[in-house]
Amino acid sequence: MKSLILIFSISLLSSTSFGNSFSNPNESSCNKKTAVIFDVDDTLVDTNYRTLDILQKAGRDLKIDQLIELEYPRVDFFCSVTVKNTGINDAILLENLCGHFDPDPNKNTLTQSIWGREFYSNPKKLHFDHVMAGAPEFVNRVLEETGAQIIYLTGRNEELLRQGTEEELGYYGFPGFGKSSSKCAKLVMKPKSFLSDDASFKKLIIAKLQQQGILILAAFDDSASNANALRELLPMNVPVIRPNRNVADSSRNKSGIEQITNYYFNAWVDPVSGVREVKSNENQLTNIIQQAVQVVPQLKGPASE
């Protein structure tokens, strides 16, 4: 019970919607030949609140009580799992609400579903996102301590969500946007014309960065498929970190992927007792930064280009 109380207390203090913002530290120059990669959705911001709003509205529109009464703890990364958590199992309704992923773009119905049309395309829904606990402070710390540029690499729609994404990152105090004047961060988004999945898009961008002689020092991505793709592309001495609500569950990960819950603590469910535990991950995050710096042993400090 104490673990649960601690989780919710830290979340309330450190995970917030557009109602609060974080200040930026003084920003230094950076080495543009090195980079640390961060995904955005569910790596820097919690999108479950966005899904919650979309499905509650769908419930009101379709007069489905289970969706109207949906609460945050039952929201999952996957829309279909969330809907099933409410007791809805009708295949036709599930497809209408959530669609399904298929590697063939002609068969992939995620973005055509009630949830997908809002989640992937409506910039107003970004205001329901909550910042991941400790994320802005950690990204600024990475910039300061590694001297590398920050690259936000996201599968969000370039044409529809760029302005909203820049405003969101700036509002929460992530370097490169809002009040930040740093030129050491940039946002790379998936163009609408790119029809393949996010993992294919991110592999393409990483390959291009490597062709340009940019050395990746670390990569953070919550998606198992994306993290696995990054692990395949990057040398084993480069940390690949996957944010995951339950760090004890690594069943979908390739070897060599670390997990965190957020940038303050790790949480997991004890497989025997079923009790949810929580522990500070400050030392783990410090070690990740140290590993990133050691990817370039000659890097003494920030070097502007």
Which residue among 60, 95, 127 closes a domain? 127
Sequence-ordered alpha helix ranges (H) in the chain: 2-14, 48-62, 65-68, 79-85, 91-98, 114-121, 135-146, 158-172, 198-211, 224-233, 282-294
| Together in a domain, 146 and 268 | yes
pLDDT of 247 over the 90 cut = yes
What per-residue confidence (pLDDT) applies to 28?
Answer: 52
Summarize the confidence of residues 13-21 as an average pLDDT.
41
Mean pLDDT score, 258-265: 97
Residue 20 pLDDT exceeds 60: no
For the stretch 104-156, pLDDT in tens is 888 889 989 999 999 999 999 999 999 999 999 999 999 999 999 999 999 99
On whether both 187 and 272 belong to a single domain, the answer is yes
Q: Find out whether 199 and 219 touch, Cβ atoms under 8 Å.
A: no
Q: Is 301 within a domain? A: no
Q: What is the DSSP letter of 246?
A: -
Among the listed residues 55, 288, 21, 62, the one whose alpha carbon sits nearest the alpha carbon of residue 180: 21
My answer on whether 255 and 116 are in the same domain is: no
Q: Quick one: 136 and 243 in the same domain?
A: yes
- 180 shares a domain with 95: no
**What is the pLDDT, as a whole number, of residue 7?**
39
Does pLDDT of 76 surpass 60? yes
Residues sharing a CB contact under 8 Å with residue 272, sequence separation 6 or more, in sequence order: none
Whether 299 is covered by a domain: the verdict is: no
Can you tell me the mean pLDDT for 223-237?
A: 96
Alpha helices, H only, 104-157: 114-121, 135-146
82's CB contacts (< 8 A; 6+ apart) are 51, 55, 70, 74, 75, 76
**Are 169 and 108 in the same domain?**
no
Q: DSSP readout, 210-239?
A: HHTTPEEEEEE-S-HHHHHHHHHHS-TTS-
The answer as to whether 53 is a domain residue is yes
Q: Which residues fall within 8 angstroms of residue 46, CB to CB, at 6 or more apart?
A: 15, 129, 130, 131, 132
Domain carrying residue 79: 48-127
pLDDT at 274: 84
Reported as half-sphere exposure (CB side, CA atoms, 13 A), residue 29 has a value of: 8
In a domain, 57, yes or no: yes
Domain assignment of residue 302, yes or no: no
User: Would residue 285 count as lying in a domain?
Assistant: yes
Residues 242 and 168 in one domain: yes
Q: Is pLDDT at 230 greater than 50 in this prediction?
A: yes
**pLDDT at residue 294 tops 90:** yes
End residue of a domain, out of 110, 127, 144: 127
Q: What is the pLDDT of residues 88-101, one digit of tens each?
A: 999 999 999 999 98
CATH number of the domain bearing residue 246: 3.40.50.1000
> In terms of domains, do 204 and 229 share one?
yes
Q: Does one domain contain both 177 and 63?
A: no
Report d(CA 219, CA 139) in Å as an integer.
Answer: 12
- Closest alpha carbon to 233 in 215, 245, 246, 260: 215
For 143-198, how does the pLDDT look when each residue is reduced to its tens digit (9 = 90+)? 999 999 999 999 999 999 999 999 999 999 999 998 876 789 999 999 988 878 89
Q: Tell which of 77, 111, 127 closes a domain.
A: 127
One domain for residues 16 and 93: no
Residue 133 pLDDT: 97
Taking residue 251's Cβ as centre, other Cβ atoms within 10 Å add up to: 6
User: In this predicted structure, what is the pLDDT of residue 297?
Assistant: 62
- Alpha-carbon distance of 271 to 294, in angstroms, equals 35
pLDDT of the residue at 270 = 86
Number of domains the chain contains = 2
Confirm whether 172 is domain-assigned.
yes
Distance of CA 58 to the CA centre of its chain: 24
User: What are the distances in angstroms from CA 69 to CA 11, 58, 83, 222, 250?
Assistant: 22, 11, 11, 27, 31
Over the stretch 30-74, which tens digit does the pLDDT of each residue have? 899 999 999 999 999 999 999 999 999 999 999 999 999 999 999
Is residue 223, in this structure, part of any structural domain at all? yes
pLDDT band, residue 238 (cuts 50/70/90): very high
Are residues 158 and 253 both part of a single domain? Answer: yes
Q: What is the pTM of this model?
A: 0.87
Residues 281 and 229 in one domain: yes
Please give the single-letter amino acid code of residue 51. Answer: T
Note the pLDDT of residue 181: 64
Say how far apart CA 174 and CA 187 lie, in whole Å: 11
pLDDT for res 132: 97
User: Is the Cβ–Cβ distance between 238 and 215 less than 8 Å?
Assistant: no
| φ, ψ for residue 235, nearest 5 deg | -60, 155
